[in-house]
Amino acid sequence: MLNHPTYERLTQLRLFGMVQALTEQAQTPDLQALTFEERLGLLVDREITERQNRQMRNRLRQAHLKQAAVAEDIDYRHPRGLDRAVVRRLLAGDWVRAHQNVLITGPTGAGKTYLACALANAACRQGHTALYQRLPRLFDELASARVDGRYLKLMTALAKVEVLVLDDWGLALLDDQRRRDLLDLLDDRYQTHSTVIASQLPVAHWHEALGHPTLADAILDRLVHQAHPLSLVGESLRKHRPILTEEPIQE
């Protein structure tokens, strides 16, 4: 007789995990042998797990990852210079907790974006916030934000993201304003949060691509030091995929 109002009150308190666990307990006769404290402990554990899962799903949704990349699906079958041990260490997330960066370079189709998204996905599952951005589009968004007064708010939000993925580094033409935007963003994140770069350009060519020696020095100083480089090689993975497939292409 008391269960129905109890369910309603738990739902009003948004204790959805406890509601589910209490329902399951009522349908499991063997649990009647447990003490009150033991059954209560199971309810609390279920609520904590449900909240953690819900928070993780929210982080993944807000990350806007380009690909639904997961560690288990990273392709090690084709030779592209990908060290399984190095990737495994990165997936463990120590680099995020140490506020370090990851620099992924390689030719088109080598799997840079997929690997970057897999690292961000793993970070979300470990409790960190993440966000995927194509750098050319981010520059356009920053320019629009400067016009309508959202610039400082946007830069503040980007600075707070614990793992920021910047894809297509080196594709956008950089004028002085874009270089300064990039410097401001990386300076705000320096030694406080982590950045993942995916680029077709080798790191050795980044200084030249940035176009301004002084600003390039400042940008790379905040990005390259304390960074983990991953240099992919080989032909595009797309050549190894059938035309029609449900398997995600690792771009």
Task: Name the E strands within 89-162.
Answer: 101-105, 130-134
Condensed to tens digits (0 to 9), the pLDDT of residues 59-79 reads: 999 999 999 999 988 988 877
| Cross-sheet strand order for the sheet of 194-199 | 130-134, 163-169, 194-199, 101-105, 227-231
């033991």: which residue's tokens?
38
* In contact, 203 and 232? CB cutoff 8 Å: no
Taking alpha carbons only, the member of 101, 72, 75 closest to residue 219 is 101
| Predicted local distance difference test score (pLDDT) of residue 202 | 95
Average pLDDT over residues 148-162: 97
What is the band of 239 on the pLDDT scale with cuts at 50, 70, 90?
low
What are the structural domain ranges in the chain?
Answer: 3-61, 65-235
**CATH (residue range 65-235):** 3.40.50.300
What is the band of 250 on the pLDDT scale with cuts at 50, 70, 90?
low
Pair type for strands 163-169 and 130-134: parallel
Condensed to tens digits (0 to 9), the pLDDT of residues 101-149 reads: 999 999 998 899 999 999 999 999 999 999 999 999 999 999 999 999 9
